[in-house]
């Protein structure tokens, strides 16, 4: 991403995260403090979307930021922007936490589906209600129903695509392609480069 | 895995980008990714897209969270840069990186220790900065960080080799050389403070002719902590590294017998 990563509205010309991360890799705590200010809100928002419990979200946010400090020297710009790297770490950590605590709710969720109370619809609403940024909201609305459900369940709920297929009672191949098509459409809609 | 499955692998970019693969499929895809630049590019783009989905949920953290994180990082050792490239990101942790020799790992251990020393030094820096009157400490620490970074680079070099020697003053010296970087570092533990008005000077030995490689920062000597220095100048064809005690400011040629002399492994 060459553009500043803020979405919609007049983007505050933020600090150069790659540069800050380079300083952090050298043990610069002031640079880390600046990096924290730039990314912690997004990390917390994402972990909260996934975990829903505020205390757990804060805990995971802490873990993620400490991991950023610890592994800053391993950030490879060729693999993407600093923001994408940090959000990938955050997503992964929060999803790991979700999965380890999931077996109980699986049953409930399946039951909900069978009772024609599709849990994923609620999920979609909840998440979308919290999407403060117009661009993402608009682009999400440009997806087909299946694409949106697949992306939402996988990204905001931390489901594997196999679980998504099971929850939506769709063939694996369908979910696989909907997930990819959905993300590609979002990418094009948001004008994201790598 | 059938051929159809394999052909299908590249459609998993989306699932991979949002961490929706697990188990064997994740491993298979990461293997595929290593050889598929188009897939890697798509993963990068879809991850950047996913990051935006995450950022759209942004919340304002409480100030307490920042204090907690700053306190925690001050005690956390930083990892050295990744050396083996394109290792799997999510499924890693199984096999050690290829070509990792025992010597390399020892060097990594050293590098990690150095990084740890800096991180611990960092606690004081952070607190002092909050206390406002420790500009010097901060500046000194920046130099320290830069020095440790330079030394770490040598230690982590794929071709790094080391030699140990007991110094005449009882300390242990280690010289690490990377011919690829054309740099050498000197590490010592238990090095006492030099006598008043004296400094430790490092030398490259070019077949017996001593060439100055700079003075050691003696701030850490006599503390029981380790001391590390990057030798200034290129290694070139040097056959050894020496340490002498010289008058403050250093000398053009050694004026005393070396307290340590270590031969360098051939390049």
Residue range A84-134, pLDDT digits in tens: 999 999 999 999 998 877 655 665 665 554 444 444 555 555 555 455 577
Quickly list H helices, chain B: 3-8, 13-17, 23-34, 37-55, 63-73, 102-131, 135-155
Read off the pLDDT band of B97 (50, 70, 90): very low
Higher pLDDT, A6 or B59: B59
Looking at chain B from residue 182 to 221, which residues have their Cβ under 8 Å from any Cβ of chain A? none
CATH of the domain at A173: 1.10.10.10
DSSP code at position B11: G
**With pLDDT > 90 as the criterion, what percentage of chain A qualifies?**
61
Asked if residue A116 is part of any domain, the answer here is no
Q: Does B195 or A62 have the greater pLDDT score?
A: A62
Q: Which tokens belong to A41?
A: 């809100």
Instruction: Place A9 in a pLDDT band, splitting at 50, 70 and 90.
Output: very low
One domain for residues A144 and A76? no
Count other Cβ atoms within 10 Å, centred on residue A10.
6
Position B81 scores a pLDDT of 80
Region at B93 (left for phi over 0; alpha for psi -120 to 50; beta for the rest): left
Beta bridge partners of B183: B178
CA distance B70 to A185: 39
Beta-carbon contacts of residue B67 (< 8 Å; ≥ 6 apart)? none
Return left, alpha or beta for B76; rule: phi > 0 is left, psi -120 to 50 is alpha, else beta.
Answer: beta
- Does residue A27 belong to any structural domain of this protein? yes
Most confident range (mean pLDDT) of B108-112, B140-144, B207-211 is B207-211
For residue B95, is pLDDT > 50? no
What mean pLDDT comes out for the span B6-21?
Answer: 88
Q: Are residues A26 and A93 in the same domain?
A: yes
Cβ <8 Å between B79 and A181: no
Give the residue on B whose Cα is nearest the Cα of A127: B57
pLDDT reported for residue B18: 96
Q: Given CB atoms, is A12 within the 8 Å cutoff of chain B?
A: no
| Phi, psi torsion values for B216, nearest 5 degrees | -90, 140
DSSP conformation letters of A160-174: -HHHHHHHHT--HHH
CB-count exposure of residue B99 (10 Å: 0-12, 13-18, 19+): exposed
Q: Is residue A119 part of a domain?
A: no
The reply to whether A140 and A98 lie within a common domain is: no
A147 with A101, same domain?
no
Q: Is there a contact between A41 and B22 if contact means CB atoms under 8 Å apart?
A: no
Q: What is the pLDDT of residue A4?
A: 38
Q: Is residue A143 part of a domain?
A: yes
Do residue A20 and residue A84 come from a single domain?
yes
What was the pLDDT predicted at A14? 60
Same domain, A104 and A36: yes
DSSP letters of B80-130? PPP-STT--SSS-SSSPPTT--HHHHHHHHHHHHHHHHHHHHHHHHHHHHH
Question: A61, B61 in Cβ contact below 8 A?
Answer: yes
Q: Confirm whether A75 is domain-assigned.
A: yes
If you search the block for the tokens 């060439």, which residue do you land on? B211
Range of the domain at A173: 128-193
Cross-chain CB nearest to B45 (options A66, A83, A194) = A194
Please tell me the predicted confidence (pLDDT) of residue B167. 86
Instruction: Tell me whether residue A9 is in a domain.
Output: no
Q: How far apart are CA B228 and CA B44, in angstroms?
A: 39
Question: Would you tell me which residues 161-190 of chain A have a C-beta closer than 8 angstroms to some C-beta of chain B?
Answer: 161-162, 164, 173, 176-177, 179-184, 186-187, 190
Q: Are B30 and B88 in contact (CB under 8 A)?
A: yes
What is the CA A41 to chain-centroid distance, rounded? 13
Q: Is B81 on the interface with A (CB under 8 A)?
A: yes
Is A102 found in the same domain as A62? yes
Task: Give the dihedral sign, CA B196/B197/B203/B205.
Answer: negative
CA–CA gap between residue B267 and residue B263 (Å, rounded): 12
Burial (CB < 10 A; 0-12, 13-18, 19+), residue B133, is exposed
Q: Read off the DSSP letter of residue B52.
A: H
Residue at a domain's end among A86, A111, A136: A111
Residue A97 sits in the same domain as residue A159: no
Residue A3 within a domain:
no
Which residues from A are below 8 Å from B26, CB to CB?
none
Integer-rounded Cα Rg, in Å, for chain B is 24
Residue A8 resides in a domain: no
Among A5-19, A137-151, B185-199, name the one with the lowest average pLDDT.
A5-19
Residues A97, A30 share a domain? yes
Give yes or no for A33 touching B (CB within 8 A).
yes
**Domain count of chain A?**
2
Mutate to test the interface with A, among B4, B8, B17, B18 (most CBs of A within 10 A): B18
Chain B residues whose beta carbon lies within 8 Å of the beta carbon of residue A45: 54-59
- pTM of the predicted structure, to 2 decimals: 0.56
Query: Which of A37-41, A62-66, B95-99, B100-104 has maximum average pLDDT?
Result: A62-66
Asked if A169 and A95 sit in the same domain, the reply is no
Would you state the pLDDT for residue A5? Answer: 40
Residue with tokens 């050498």: B184
CATH code, A47: 1.10.1740.10
Tell me how far apart the alpha carbons of residues A121 and A152 are, in angstroms, rounded to a whole number.
10
Look at residue B128 and tell me whether its pLDDT is greater than 60: no
CB atoms closer than 10 angstroms to residue B224: 10
Better-predicted residue by pLDDT, A44 or B262:
A44
Q: Residue B6: pLDDT above 60?
A: no
Which of A97-111, B40-54, B147-161 comes out lowest in average pLDDT?
A: A97-111
CA distance B145 to chain A (A): 7
Q: Are residues A106 and A179 in the same domain?
A: no
């Amino acid at each position: 991403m060459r553009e500043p990563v803020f979405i919609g509205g007049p983007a505050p010309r933020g600090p150069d995260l790659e540069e800050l991360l380079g300083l952090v890799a050298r043990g610069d705590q002031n640079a880390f403090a600046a990096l924290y200010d730039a990314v912690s809100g997004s990390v917390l928002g994402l972990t909260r979307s996934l975990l829903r419990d505020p205390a757990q979200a804060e805990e995971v946010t802490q873990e993620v930021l400490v991991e950023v400090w610890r592994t800053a020297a391993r950030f490879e710009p060729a693999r993407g922007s600093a923001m994408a790297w940090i959000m990938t770490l955050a997503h992964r950590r929060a999803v790991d936490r979700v999965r380890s605590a999931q077996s109980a709710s699986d049953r409930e969720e399946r039951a909900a589906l069978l009772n024609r109370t599709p849990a994923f619809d609620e999920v979609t609403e909840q998440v979308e209600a919290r999407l403060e940024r117009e661009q993402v909201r608009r682009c999400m609305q440009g997806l087909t129903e299946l694409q949106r459900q697949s992306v939402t369940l996988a990204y905001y709920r931390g489901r594997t695509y196999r679980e998504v297929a099971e929850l939506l009672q769709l063939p694996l191949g369908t979910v696989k392609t909907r997930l990819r098509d959905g993300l590609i459409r979002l990418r094009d809609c948001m004008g994201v480069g790598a | 895995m059938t051929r159809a499955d394999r052909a299908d692998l590249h459609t998993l970019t989306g699932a991979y980008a949002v961490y929706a693969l697990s188990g064997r499929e994740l491993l298979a895809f990461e293997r595929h990714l290593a050889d598929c630049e188009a897939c890697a590019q798509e993963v990068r783009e879809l991850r950047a897209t996913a990051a935006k989905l995450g950022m759209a949920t942004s919340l304002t953290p409480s100030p307490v969270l920042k204090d907690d994180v700053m306190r925690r990082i001050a005690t956390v050792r930083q990892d050295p840069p990744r050396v083996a490239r394109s290792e799997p990101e999510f499924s890693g942790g199984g096999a050690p990186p290829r070509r990792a020799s025992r010597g390399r790992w020892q060097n990594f251990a050293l590098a990690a220790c150095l990084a740890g020393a800096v991180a611990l030094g960092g606690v004081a820096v952070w607190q002092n900065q909050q206390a406002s009157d420790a500009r010097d400490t901060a500046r000194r620490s920046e130099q320290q960080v830069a020095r440790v970074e330079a030394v770490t680079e040598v230690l982590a070099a794929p071709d790094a080799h080391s030699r140990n020697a007991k110094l005449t003053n009882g300390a242990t010296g280690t010289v690490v050389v990377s011919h690829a970087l054309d740099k050498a570092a000197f590490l010592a533990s238990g090095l006492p403070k030099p006598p008043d008005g004296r400094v430790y000077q490092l030398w490259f030995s070019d077949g017996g002719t001593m060439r100055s490689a700079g003075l050691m920062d003696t701030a850490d000597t006599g503390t029981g902590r380790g001391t590390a220095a990057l030798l200034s100048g290129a290694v070139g064809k040097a056959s050894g590294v020496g340490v002498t005690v010289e008058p403050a400011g250093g000398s053009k040629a050694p004026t005393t017998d070396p307290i340590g002399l270590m031969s360098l492994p051939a390049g």
